[in-house]
Amino acid sequence: MKHYALLPVLLAVVLVQTGCDKGNSSPSSMEELHRKNGVPVRVEVIGQHAQAADMRWNAVLSGGEESTASAMVSDRVARIEYKVGDRVAGDAVVVRFPADNPAANYNQARVTFEHARTTLSRMESLYKSGGISQQELDNVRTQFQVAEANWKATREAVNVEAPISGVITRINVTESQNVKAGDPLFTVADTRTLRARLLVTESVARLLAVGDEASAEYRGTMLKGRVAQVDRSMESKKQAYGVILEFANPGKTVASGSNALIRVLPRKEGNVVMIERKDLQRENDDYYVFVAQEKKAVRRPVTIGASIDTRVEILTGLAKGDRLITASQMMLEDGSAIRVVED
């Protein structure tokens, strides 16, 4: 009964609302409003960044000193003495190959060296007693030095040592695996310092200089560093300029191979134009933006350079003073009427 009592009230509300709707003119469509008043947009005046304060990249950190050992013979891996993460001295044997490898001549080189060493010792005694001349002793000593060098090279080919002291960051082979001469075996890095290598456009490279402050952030750990090298010639394959940064790694808290957020604070002044990636439009392989000219939106093709955090470098198409449209771009076409609104 209570529900039936509410019906007259609901009908009255509906009738009042219907009457109000009939009394008003039909609202214009959104397209008509935009044609009449212009699409509401926000704009940002382009300024060439006199100091691109806080350029950012993501880059992989590697050891400040890093070296990879390669196989000198083609054979199977007999034994691996260490694992990734182990600290090794510069003369530690990490990978061993069979000593009977015909190409290495391991036993022959060892016997030749031992014979040369015994002969030299005997000749030195004879020389002291006047039994041989200085020239004869020098000849024997030379033969010993050659045999010693051959024996050393043979040992290093069969028993591959760490090229530097540090931490093993990568092992490329497994025991019993067949490898060829020249194949990489393992990498050792000294992680007391870390390095990052960036590829940047010419305009960004011009802003950077050796000594510029830099930082690397990895999982909440912040490392302080600096720009160590800025190439002044372009890599033809990459069409970019190389930049090397170095970071102190106290306590070796960040491992080689970590992907870190790199920040650089350049000290130079320059003319790099940067915009937010969201303000960049793309059609197929072409990029464009909208700029405000008087009361119209003008589609402007652009070419892009480096991506720095959420910003993109604009190489051509925008200049200082242009009014870049930063909102409602999806509603615009070339020549659309616009109305600039403030925040």
> Looking at residue 242, what is its pLDDT?
94
What per-residue string of b and e applies to 24-57 under the rule 16 or more CB within 10 Å gives b? eeeeeeeeeebeeebbebebeebeebeebeebeb
| DSSP per-residue string spanning 220-282 | TEEEEEEEEEE-SS-BTTTTBEEEEEEEE-GGG-S-TT-EEEEEEE--S---BEEEEGGG-EE
Residue 164 burial by CB count (10 A; 0-12/13-18/19+): exposed, middle or buried? middle
- Dihedral of CA atoms 99, 104, 107, 108 in degrees, nearest 10, equals 170
Q: How far apart are CA 289 and CA 325, in angstroms?
A: 8
> Looking at residue 160, what is its pLDDT?
94
DSSP 8-state class, residue 331: G
CB 56 within 8 A of CB 141: no
Give the start-to-end residue ranges of the domains of the chain. Answer: 33-48+272-340, 100-155, 192-265
Q: What is the CATH number of domain 192-265?
A: 2.40.30.170
> Looking at residue 185, what is its pLDDT?
96
Tell me whether strands 93-96 and 159-161 are parallel, antiparallel or unpaired. antiparallel
Q: How far apart are CA 285 and CA 302, in angstroms?
A: 11
Provide the token pair at 338.
């616009």
Show pLDDT as tens, one digit a residue, over the chain (343 residues). 444 444 344 334 333 444 444 444 444 576 676 666 788 988 888 875 434 456 788 999 999 888 999 999 999 999 999 999 899 998 899 999 998 877 778 889 999 999 999 999 999 999 998 889 999 999 999 999 999 999 998 999 999 999 999 999 899 999 999 999 999 999 999 989 999 999 988 878 888 889 999 999 999 999 999 999 999 898 888 888 999 999 999 988 898 889 999 998 877 656 678 888 899 999 888 999 999 998 899 999 999 876 666 778 888 898 888 999 998 888 888 888 888 887 6
Tell me whether the CATH fold assigned to 100-155 matches the one assigned to 192-265. no
Residue with tokens 């469509």: 29
Q: How far apart are CA 313 and CA 56, in angstroms?
A: 12
Helix, coil or strand: residue 141: helix
Q: Which residues contact 293 (CB under 8 A, 6 or more apart)?
A: 323
Tally of CB atoms within 10 A around 281: 17
> Looking at residue 276, what is its pLDDT?
86
pTM tops 0.85, yes or no: no
> What is the CATH architecture assignment of 33-48+272-340?
Beta Barrel (2.40)
**100-155 under CATH 1.10.287, yes or no:** yes
Q: Which residues contact 35 (CB under 8 A, 6 or more apart)?
A: 337
DSSP 8-state class, residue 132: S
> Looking at residue 304, what is its pLDDT?
86
Residue with tokens 């010419």: 202
